[in-house]
Structure 1
Amino acid sequence: MGVISQMNSRQMLKRIGNLLTTLLFILLLCMLFLVLVSKATGNEANLFGYQLKTVLSGSMEPNIETGSIIAIHTEGDKTQFHSGDVITFRTEDDMLVTHRIVEVIDNGNQYITKGDANDGKDLNPVLSQNVVGTYSGFTIPYIGYIMNFAETKEGAALLLILPGILLLGYALFTIRRTIKEVKQLIDDKNMRTE
């Protein structure tokens, strides 16, 4: 029973490892796809009404950490937000900022915002036409650093080459393991026939 239990544990760990590897690979491919689409079109990649944005400052910590990737919902009426909603908007300097609405003015045509970590409200009200979207609650910590690097020439090249190297390494590992298992089976068979 102990040997069977060990084999089942090994098989389970192997399956979990394969599942995690597959999920990470799919995530990497999705990120690569989004980066390449945004580079090729010059626009933000929009997937099912959502865009991924990188958080570059700590103004929304601890709720949204610096270097995180957040998903924002870009569709819908930009005058229907409420106090407490987190929005991403364009400033007069064409910078993207993600802050929480603390006050709604003129039936949603303007919003007063504030970063969660900031002491005071933002100086200028946000016009509803400058709202890009609302924070969906989806965050991946620290991936934003990788995404920012991926937007450079070196980063884009690395993201194109790295998956190939990883796949090659995984293939070599799998081939080596299979050869070892076949040799073990042959040795076991030879020992039984002696």
Structure 2
Amino acid sequence: MNAKKVLNIFSSLVTAILFLLLIFMVFVVISAKASGGEPQFLGYQLKTVLSGSMEPTFKTGSIIAVKPVKDPNQLKKDDIITFMETQDKLVTHRIIEVMDKGEQTMFKTKGDNNEDPDMNAVVAQNVVAKYTGFTIPLAGYFIDFAKSKNGIALLLILPGLLLLTYSGVTIFRALKEIESPKKQNDVQETI
């Protein structure tokens, strides 16, 4: 394989990667804005871990995938759930006990890194989702940045500029290759 063919393959690969990166960035930014905060993909929600209460299961700044819970009564001990602790605060902790209080199911929860269980039991209606076991360490910092004004600008504009720059370089090289044989023909005609 000659160097030119390798360069063309590499060039195509870089273009494809940059294009996919641009599409991914647009998806992350738009889905984060549309869902009111956390991106969602194929029925899974992505949540950012804000504290170390569940370490070492997942670390602060990680992204976890959770699946919305349709029937909280199916949850059992050792499941990790995301629930509304207050009106505007989601918490993800492990169920350490399932309590049936008449017609109402409640869950006693605890962070893996906490010494004591959570003070209040979680009412089944407050359970939002169940942890699926999928974690991307430290990616939450990236998502939080992507939701900021600077992040939106950088993550949408930068890949676009990279694609434009790369396209410009590719066009310049193609024009240079076209002109090079022309000059050789002109030199041969004068001899």
Tell me the TM-score range normalised by the shorter chain. Answer: 0.7 to 0.9
Residue 97 of structure 1 corresponds to 91
Residue 67 of structure 2 corresponds to 73
Counterpart amino acid of residue 17 in structure 2? L
Distance 2:61 2:184 in 1: 58
Distance 1:110 1:162 in 2: 42
Matches within 5 A, 1:1-194: 2-3=1-2, 6-39=3-36, 48-92=42-86, 94-106=88-100, 109-151=105-147, 155-156=148-149, 158-160=151-153, 162-191=155-184, 194=188
Runs of 5+ consecutive residues of structure 2 not aligned to the other structure: none
Distance 2:39 2:173 in 1: 45
- Percent of aligned pairs sharing the same letter: 36
Structure with the larger RCO, 1 or 2 (CA within 8 Å, 6+ apart): 2
SS at match of 1:58: coil
Distance 2:11 2:56 in 1: 36
Does the aligned pair in 2 maintain the 1:71–1:135 contact within 8 Å?
Answer: yes
Q: How many residues align?
A: 185
Q: TM-score, normalising length from structure 2?
A: 0.78
Distance 2:138 2:6 in 1: 33
How far does residue 26 in structure 1 lie from its aligned partner after superposition? 2.0
Q: TM-score, normalising length from structure 1?
A: 0.77
Distance 1:184 1:8 in 2: 14
More strand by share: 2
**Closer/same/farther in 2, CA of residues 100 and 189 from structure 1, 3 Å limit:** farther
The root-mean-square deviation of aligned C-alpha atoms, in Å, is 2.9
Larger Rg: 2
Does the aligned pair in 2 maintain the 1:49–1:75 contact within 8 Å?
Answer: no
